[in-house]
């Protein structure tokens, strides 16, 4: 069987978003799925974020896949559907279309379309393998009820099969088929680190922040890849930079000690980046030093807020003091920091200014400010879903206010759009000569990618620094100013 796996582009071709300026990683979901079926079937991966739009119909017409798999997070949902529609338009029922990923899992009903044959709910490896085996055996499409983890279309009806358990040890999955995206390798980057490999070393998170669906997506379980398997994958990657995709890499002290031991024992010399919590950094400063010596170059943390009350309301189970201290520890160790903070739709002007001031005090290398929103599948979504001004998936990019703002929408976006300029002091305060000299070889390597980053960042800054862009999105996407009630809302 011929299988085509597609990573859709962000919702508008050429739109400036995170992935075009700050971080674009390889489609790790697709390489993980490909590894499960590659031995017996022919698999190709197309990454539409880096391909011209006409590649998709061309590949579909030439390759004529029997199975089309598309991955999607919420912001990609419509583009993922468009990919499936394109395949059905060209190949008709000769192709079986299946969607998977965070949005299809959390909102499976959003994809009940005649051109989508199935939705994979949750972890995809085994489900996808079984679907492909079923089709390869020539069995009927409407007899997939025995395959767990699916939402399938049977005639006019949609059925959900029993849930797929997420119990399988991560080491028992084959290593992702990264060679299928090797021709795109130079396209994947994080900031000035060009040519990054992405490796997932754990799934799940033990915390339960109410704005995040990770702990629910992974059924409140956390599973880890062994140190040996992680280092096997680090060694196999030809890239010098590695991004570990785990939502919370810093969870388990013993696992990290084992990892450092393994990296040292095998003499692997790579620079790697992680996402991790500030409380762990503060409690384990000694271990952070060992991680740095083993190649850790950047930690991305959800700092979220400059106030303890807000952290508590978000169920973050962390404190402002930890955030301040962690930023300090990382700076002292010569580890770059990226911090995500949220502004809230109900904020007054002074709260924006206070946040920007705190970020500058923290001296984080790359601060990033997003807008708090109830993302699909989160506790916040369940509790505040009725406050949503729109359910248009394209707005769930953390860059738009999907709930009412206290300030006028114009003033809200004006204050929000200030963040990048207002927090420059933080970056400058972090990248001091003393800091840069702590790791001269790394900084020299990053300097090589700096020119490209500057170019990309300029474009991003132009887009996110102009409040008109946010307001225009609201008009263009939903056809009206979100603040003005529709006639139906007025009647209600």
**Residue 1 touching ligand B12 (CB under 6 A):** no
Contact status, residue 23 vs residue 191, Cβ threshold 8 Å: yes
Cα 420 to Cα 303, 337, 373, 416: the distances in Å are 16, 16, 20, 9
In the complex, the smallest distance separating the C-beta of residue 251 from ligand SF4, rounded to whole angstroms, is 9
Cα 217 to Cα 1, 220, 298, 317: the distances in Å are 30, 8, 26, 20
**Residue 363 touching ligand B12 (CB under 6 A):** no
Contact status, residue 117 vs residue 76, Cβ threshold 8 Å: no
Contact status, residue 395 vs residue 370, Cβ threshold 8 Å: no
In the complex, the smallest distance separating the C-beta of residue 197 from ligand B12, rounded to whole angstroms, is 12
In the complex, the smallest distance separating the C-beta of residue 207 from ligand SF4, rounded to whole angstroms, is 4
**Looking at beta carbons only, is 133 or 340 nearer to ligand SF4?**
340
**Looking at beta carbons only, is 69 or 367 nearer to ligand SF4?**
367
Contact status, residue 379 vs residue 362, Cβ threshold 8 Å: no
CA distance 264 to 105: 39
- Residue 71 contact, options ligand B12, ligand SF4, none, Cβ 5-8 Å cut-off depending on partner type: ligand B12
**Residue 25 touching ligand B12 (CB under 6 A):** yes
- Its sign, for the CA torsion 76, 78, 80, 83, is negative
**Residue 250 touching ligand B12 (CB under 6 A):** no
Of positions 49, 203, 277, 363, contacts ligand SF4 by CB under 6 A: 277
Torsion from C-alpha of 309, 421, 445, 303, nearest 10 degrees: 10
- Its sign, for the CA torsion 136, 141, 142, 144, is positive
Of residues 72-111, those binding ligand B12 (CB under 6 A): 73-76, 98-103, 105-106
**Residue 17 touching ligand B12 (CB under 6 A):** yes
Of residues 231-250, those binding ligand SF4 (CB under 6 A): 247-248
**Residue 24 touching ligand B12 (CB under 6 A):** yes
| Residue 132 CB coordination number (10 Å) | 23
Q: 86 phi and psi, to 5 degrees?
A: -60, -45
Q: Interface mask (CB under 6 A) for ligand SF4, residues 147-186, using x and -?
A: ----------------------------------------
DSSP character at residue 170: G
Of positions 82, 199, 214, 230, contacts ligand B12 by CB under 6 A: 214
**Looking at beta carbons only, is 147 or 212 nearer to ligand SF4?**
212
Of positions 69, 276, 339, 345, contacts ligand B12 by CB under 6 A: 69
**Residue 282 touching ligand B12 (CB under 6 A):** no
**Residue 242 touching ligand B12 (CB under 6 A):** no
- Residue 280 contact, options ligand B12, ligand SF4, none, Cβ 5-8 Å cut-off depending on partner type: none
Contact status, residue 218 vs residue 262, Cβ threshold 8 Å: no
Of positions 68, 87, 205, 324, contacts ligand SF4 by CB under 6 A: 205
How many residues sit in the footprint of ligand SF4 (CB under 6 A)? 11
**Looking at beta carbons only, is 215 or 244 nearer to ligand SF4?**
215
CA distance 402 to 451: 35
- Residue 100 contact, options ligand B12, ligand SF4, none, Cβ 5-8 Å cut-off depending on partner type: ligand B12
Q: 100 phi and psi, to 5 degrees?
A: -155, 175
CA distance 76 to 47: 13
Collapsing DSSP states into helix, strand and coil, what is residue 98?
strand
**Residue 126 touching ligand SF4 (CB under 6 A):** no
CA distance 32 to 359: 37
- Residue 205 contact, options ligand B12, ligand SF4, none, Cβ 5-8 Å cut-off depending on partner type: ligand SF4
Region of 89-97, 124-132, 209-217, 384-392 interacting with ligand SF4 (CB under 6 A) = 209-217
Strands (DSSP E) along 48-162, which ranges?
67-71, 96-100, 118-120, 150-154, 157-160
- Its sign, for the CA torsion 191, 5, 224, 104, is positive
Collapsing DSSP states into helix, strand and coil, what is residue 275?
strand
**Looking at beta carbons only, is 241 or 435 nearer to ligand B12?**
241
Q: Which residues bind ligand B12 (CB under 6 A)?
A: 7, 10, 17-19, 23-25, 27-29, 32-33, 69-71, 73-76, 98-103, 105-106, 120, 123-125, 127-128, 200, 212-214, 245, 247, 370, 375-376, 397-398
Q: Which residues bind ligand SF4 (CB under 6 A)?
A: 205, 207-209, 212, 214-215, 247-248, 277, 302
């Amino acid at each position: 069987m011929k299988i085509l796996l597609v990573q859709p582009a962000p919702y508008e071709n050429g739109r400036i978003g995170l992935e075009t300026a700050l971080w674009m990683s390889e489609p790790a979901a697709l390489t993980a799925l490909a590894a499960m079926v590659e031995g017996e079937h022919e698999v190709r991966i197309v990454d539409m974020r880096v391909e011209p739009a006409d590649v998709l119909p061309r590949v579909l017409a030439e390759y004529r896949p029997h199975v089309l798999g598309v991955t999607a997070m919420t912001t990609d949902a419509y583009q993922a559907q468009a990919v499936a529609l394109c395949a059905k338009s060209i190949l008709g029922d000769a192709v079986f279309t299946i969607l998977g990923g965070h949005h299809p899992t959390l909102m499976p009903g959003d994809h009940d379309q005649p051109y989508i044959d199935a939705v994979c709910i949750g972890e995809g490896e085994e489900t996808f393998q079984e679907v492909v085996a079923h089709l390869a055996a020539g069995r009927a499409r409407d007899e997939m009820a025995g395959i767990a983890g699916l939402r399938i279309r049977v005639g006019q009806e949609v059925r959900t099969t029993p849930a797929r358990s997420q119990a399988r040890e991560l080491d028992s999955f084959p290593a992702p088929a990264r060679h299928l995206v090797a021709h795109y390798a130079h396209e994947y980057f994080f900031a000035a680190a060009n040519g990054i490999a992405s490796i997932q070393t754990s799934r799940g998170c033990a915390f339960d922040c109410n704005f995040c669906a990770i702990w629910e997506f992974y059924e409140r379980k956390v599973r880890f890849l062994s140190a040996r398997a992680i280092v096997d994958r680090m060694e196999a990657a030809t890239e010098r930079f590695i991004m570990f995709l785990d939502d919370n890499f810093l969870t388990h002290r013993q696992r990290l000690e084992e990892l450092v031991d393994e990296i040292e024992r095998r003499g692997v010399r790579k620079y790697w980046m992680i996402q991790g919590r500030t409380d762990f950094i503060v409690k384990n400063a000694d271990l952070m030093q060992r991680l740095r010596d083993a190649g850790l170059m950047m930690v991305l943390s959800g700092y979220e807020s400059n106030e303890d009350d807000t952290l508590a309301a978000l169920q973050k189970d962390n404190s402002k003091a930890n955030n301040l201290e962690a930023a300090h520890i990382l700076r002292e160790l010569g580890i770059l920091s990226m911090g995500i903070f949220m502004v809230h739709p109900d904020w007054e002007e002074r709260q924006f200014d206070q946040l920007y001031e705190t970020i500058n005090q923290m001296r984080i290398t790359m601060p990033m400010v997003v807008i708090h929103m109830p993302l699909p599948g989160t506790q916040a979504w369940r509790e505040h879903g009725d406050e949503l001004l729109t359910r248009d998936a394209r707005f769930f990019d953390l860059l738009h206010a999907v709930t009412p703002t206290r300030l006028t929408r114009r003033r809200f976006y004006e204050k929000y759009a200030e963040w990048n300029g207002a927090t420059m002091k933080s970056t400058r305060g972090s990248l001091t000569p003393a800091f840069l000299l702590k790791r001269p070889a790394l900084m020299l390597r990053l300097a090589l990618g700096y020119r490209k980053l500057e170019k990309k960042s300029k474009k991003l800054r132009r887009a996110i620094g102009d409040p008109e862009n946010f307001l225009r999105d609201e008009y263009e996407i939903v056809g009206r100013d979100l603040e003005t009630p529709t006639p139906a809302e007025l009647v209600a």
